[in-house]
Chains A and B, each alone.
Chain A
């Protein structure tokens, strides 16, 4: 399809420029700041733009198109009413430097969302500032860093399981920690004896996703918390997989000291093609003073910003991805306590159902019941020359978005992984048709491997040459 630049016709415009009635202003920009080169943005009319982007949109696949079972991404339905409510004029046009008494509504949403999340997670105070999960991680580990510094005993290491998402080690490194990896045991959880060996008094703590990226609840969570806390360390909860625990377990009750939540996963706000989401951070009492500033508080006069005394500072210019917060707030109220628990239960049943129906065709990484996602493998099909990549590409021909593949990866259990997360908004009928497609593909892998290796066959473009994209970089028109 043509680029917007290739549709440009000299003289066209898609914008009505307001009248310029300032002829009397003769001031000019200084010589040193005048451009010598002209830039040429495309020249297109409003209908040109609408057709172009409508056509582009049709090359995408979204949650509203069908099952989007990306593991650890929680691609659940995004309620339409929440979009409308986040776009109310008084929210949309609120300037971040407006006086506090002008923004009591916005502050109320932020404060009350924090209170709801406190109850859901068992934490004591939230910051709405971080923009995404990884941004929340960075915020959380910087708080941990500052916690030890404020005690006059800085610590330098952070323990991260080998099953963790890549952002955990990357965030720890950004926060100046040396990353120490702890291996998983044969049941997919943290290897306790190894954790005991590496946890020491120079280790700030452990970052844990629970359920972890293999979709398993770490059955040793209380022991893990003990080991970390007994050496004075802190436990960080990566909330990427909180969907499984809503109304079932609160991380704060299981020993976690600081956490982030991905509102765009568990709390139904749309993923936007890769953002904006929100990676809000919750802290237990002892850590509130380190939260990024400002945080929203309330007294008898109303809502106001407060600056925690030992704050790590700002992690961005303003207070948070406000429109995302409104959507999460609306979702929680729509669900209520029973609805939240039902979401977790249904997602767990969905994942176990898929696992039960597919385990004879794709060997599970660990043969156990799972939480909200299951990890299968495509190992057996290697002998037919078929890789997991080929299986996932073929799924597109059946009208599904492929699951997460090749992650997590640790041998010998989890190689050629297929990580499937069917959130609560997916019906049994949808799952059944997905299961049917997966079984059909497993047969094709044996009998017609070429069909898979050439897949997808029905998409706007075929497999793309990623090597060429790096070797002959073309990053703009």
Chain B
């Protein structure tokens, strides 16, 4: 086996040094009745060439996704990824290392965490950033648990326009903690502020609002935060499409307390849903209750700058059942991807790209409405919007036939939105592409 260097002769030498006559002597702790008596019934070994062919063939059973572009986002966005992101994350020093337990030989990872924390701190307007929770949904669930610990209350208000999969994850995580979850309905594709106010009672721990929301709508987060804070209720903003932070007011400016984000748009492939990279950010005063690994700056014995994992006493290896969370391994390599991506784009790049997404989406919506095949509400949105098609199935088929992953059929998440489709438009579509799409519907 080419991954195992030890030869038969060496094995014998080693067994001799150990002081046993055969390998089975090393298994004497294992009860005989559980020892496998036969080989596992699995295929292989297959050689590298055959393996390549086999998996290549399996991949061919997928659609030709490079060419078939998605008109759907809903928490997973196809953006262009500069090759440099791949080149750097393919360096063995990044992808074959592990958690920086030994900072002296992990400064690459630690400094990268620190830089990425800086990017996210700037974009969110927050002082504490946990650069990696598994994904946006689990980060949201962790934010809810964090808010419950901070407030010592267990009732939460959730906008009905939080990504339905995120809400489901929140329910899974909070189910053992007797959390009462009240969903706030929407009105004109934005969270209903009157209903929100009505539900504000003293026993509420936190309010969770996604902006841009699941249907793309840009929420007035500042106003929700102002009202919530009058009742000392924590505000958690969820950001599933982080590219929006290129042009929208930051959560910090809106006086949000905790941000739970999904950074997939920052240099991560769609990959059939993962690995992506969630992040958490908060005001400094909440640092003891935030879960996950954080890098901090310090100095070495010679006074040189260096970075370490810090505020470690929150974590499971020190605090066991009293830890803020069980999280340890996260999606660290995606921190490097996000760091490289945001460094390449810089301020100008991120702003221009976000602006382009905003405009492209508005362009397609206008073009589709012009065909009269669609109708839909007017509301402020970023790069996703909903439109109603009277012939939903035909619309989906037509788009698939013409080489697109169709927009999301909303009826399975919101029965009242029967006939509505959720479109996403990013920079991967040129104006010509969008004209072509609209052209499919104008006879």
A, B in one complex: yes
A469-B340 in contact (CB<8A): no
Q: Besides the contacts A106-B272, A222-B33, what 20 more A-B pairs have beta carbons closer than 8 Å?
A: A22-B359, A33-B220, A65-B92, A81-B48, A83-B95, A89-B66, A90-B60, A92-B270, A94-B270, A95-B72, A99-B400, A271-B98, A275-B132, A318-B276, A319-B274, A322-B274, A343-B1, A428-B5, A469-B298, A477-B118
Q: Which of B20-28, B199-207, B227-235, B369-377 contacts A (4 or more CB under 8 A)?
A: B20-28
| B271: min CB distance to chain A, Å | 5
17 example contacts (A-B, Cβ-Cβ < 8 A) are as follows A14-B343, A30-B380, A46-B84, A57-B94, A61-B102, A97-B76, A103-B63, A104-B61, A106-B272, A119-B41, A131-B275, A166-B323, A248-B27, A249-B30, A272-B97, A402-B102, A476-B122
A21: which B residues are within 8 A, CB to CB? 430-431
Cβ of B440 under 8 Å from chain A = no
User: What residue in chain A is nearest B80 (Cβ atoms)?
Assistant: A18
Contact of A77 among B3, B18, B34 (CB under 8 A): B3
Residues A94 and B65 in contact in the complex (CB < 8 Å), given A62-B97, A119-B40, A462-B302: yes
Asked if A468 contacts B274 (CB within 8 A), the reply is: no
Query: Could you give, for residues 92-114 of chain A, a 1 whenever the CB lies within 8 Å of some chain B CB and a 0 otherwise?
Result: 11111111001111101100000
Q: Which of B1, B138, B340 contacts A53 (CB 8 A)?
A: B340
| CB proximity of B192 to chain A, nearest CB, Å | 16
Which of A89, A174, A323, A474 lies at the interface centre, i.e. has the most chain B CB atoms within 10 A of its CB?
Answer: A174
- Chain A residue at minimal CB-CB distance from B55: A85
Q: B443 at the A/B interface (Cβ < 8 Å)? A: no
Q: With the chains together, A427 CA to B2 CA distance in Å?
A: 12
A248 neighbours in B (Cβ, 8 Å): 27, 30, 35-36
B298 and A464 within 8 A (CB): yes
Q: Which of B222-271 contact A (CB under 8 A)?
A: 222-223, 247-250, 253, 262, 269-271
Q: Which of B40, B78, B115, B321 contacts A95 (CB 8 A)?
A: B78
Q: Is the CB of B95 within 8 A of A95?
A: no
A337-B138 CB under 8 A given contacts A25-B359, A106-B272: no
CA distance A356 to B250 in the complex (A): 59
The CA of A13 and the CA of B342, in the complex, are separated in Å by 11
The reply to whether B60 and A105 contact each other, CB–CB distance below 8 Å, is yes
Q: Does chain B have a CB within 8 A of A264?
A: yes
Contact of A428 with B109 in the complex, beta carbons under 8 Å = no
Tell me how far the C-beta of A20 lies from the nearest C-beta in chain B, rounded to whole angstroms.
5
* Residues in B neighbouring A94, C-beta threshold 8 A: 62-63, 65, 270-272
Q: Cβ of A273 and Cβ of B332 under 8 Å apart?
A: yes
- Whether B107 contacts A60 by the Cβ 8 Å rule is yes
A167 is an interface residue with CB less than 8 A from chain B: yes
Q: Are A462 and B304 in contact (CB under 8 A)?
A: yes
Query: How many pairs of residues, A versus B, come closer than 8 Å at their CB atoms?
Result: 693
Q: How far is the CB of B109 from chain A (nearest CB, A)?
A: 4
CB nearest neighbor in B for A68: B98
Cross-chain contact A334 with B306 (CB below 8 angstroms): no
| A74 nearest CB across to chain B (Å) | 10
Q: Which of A60, A166, A326 contacts B109 (CB 8 A)?
A: A60
User: In the complex, which residues of chain B have a beta carbon less than 8 angstroms from the beta carbon of A407?
Assistant: 317
Q: Kindly supply a per-residue 1/0 record for chain B positions 167-189, scoring 1 wherever the CB is within 8 Å of any chain A CB and 0 otherwise.
A: 01101110111000000000000
**Which chain A residues border B344 with CB–CB below 8 Å?**
13-15, 44, 46, 49
User: Closest Cβ of chain A: how far from B421's Cβ, in Å?
Assistant: 12
Question: Is B144 an interface residue when CB atoms closer than 8 A count as contact?
Answer: no
Take A336-B46, A369-B18 as given contacts and tell me if A173 and B321 are in contact as well, using a CB distance cutoff of 8 Å. Answer: yes
Shortest beta-carbon distance from B162 to chain A in Å: 11
Q: How far is the CA of A220 from the CA of B98 in the complex (A)?
A: 33
For A247, give its contact among B39, B331, B362 (CB under 8 Å): B39
Among B168, B334, B350, max chain A CB count under 10 A is at B168
Known A79-B3, A317-B136; judge A90-B111 contact (CB<8 A).
no
